[in-house]
């Protein structure tokens, strides 16, 4: 189980992300198509953080993978919103690759849980889409800077 300080920080960060998403959507909804995307990304992040706390049990439940997956999807949606806000056309192929990486991560984690693989492999499984997201971010920034 997590220590009280960690629970407080993760829980408050999740709640703040949800409040931030709702307030942005209410206050800035008329400022373009980027705001709903950004709010959706923040909501995914907030729900993912709260989901991590709600699903931390010993042993981890099978649906625990939904929380980190929501966080990864939230960051991808925020990245897409930043691209829209900048006025750039979002490349579909890299976005689909990153989205597929997140889905593949969830499937691999679920499969490893069903076959009884140790959770030591969890770090390797979760680092793959994070690396894909960072690679995509760097590629996206490099292409748009030209």
Neighbours of 18 (CB within 10 A): 19
Is 70 exceeded by the pLDDT of residue 131? no
Burial tier of 142 (Cβ tally within 10 Å: 0-12, 13-18, 19+): exposed
- In the chain, what are the helix, strand and coil shares in percent, each to the nearest 5? 80, 0, 20
Most confident of 34-38, 87-91, 108-112: 34-38
pLDDT of residue 79: 79
Q: How confident is the model at residue 146 (pLDDT cuts 50, 70, 90)?
A: low
Q: Which of 6-15, 53-62, 87-96 shows the lowest mean pLDDT across its residues?
A: 87-96
Kindly list the distances between the CA atom of residue 87 and the CA atoms of 33, 76, 83, 93, 144, in Å, as whole numbers in the listed order: 11, 17, 6, 18, 10
Q: pLDDT by residue (tens digit) across 95-129?
A: 777 777 777 777 777 777 777 776 555 655 666 66
- Per DSSP, 62 falls in state G
Average pLDDT of the segment spanning 45-69: 83
Q: Please state the rounded mean pLDDT for residues 62-68.
A: 79
The set of residues, in sequence order, having a beta carbon less than 8 Å from that of 53 and lying 6+ positions away, is 2, 7, 10, 11, 14
Q: What span, in angstroms and rounded, lies between the C-alpha atoms of 24 and 9?
A: 22
68: left (phi over 0), alpha (psi -120 to 50) or beta: alpha
């Amino acid at each position: 189980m997590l220590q009280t300080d960690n629970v407080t920080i993760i829980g408050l960060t999740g709640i703040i992300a949800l409040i931030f998403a709702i307030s942005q959507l209410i206050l800035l909804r008329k400022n373009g198509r980027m705001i709903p995307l950004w709010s959706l990304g923040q909501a995914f992040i907030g729900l993912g953080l709260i989901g991590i706390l709600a699903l931390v049990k010993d042993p981890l439940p099978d649906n625990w993978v939904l929380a980190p997956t929501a966080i990864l999807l939230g960051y991808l949606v925020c990245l897409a919103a930043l691209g829209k806000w900048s006025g750039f056309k979002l490349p579909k192929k890299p976005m689909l690759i990153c989205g597929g990486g997140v889905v593949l991560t969830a499937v691999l984690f679920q499969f490893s849980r069903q076959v009884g693989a140790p959770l030591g492999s969890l770090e390797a499984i979760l680092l793959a889409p994070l690396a894909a997201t960072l690679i995509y971010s760097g590629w996206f920034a490099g292409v748009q800077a030209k």
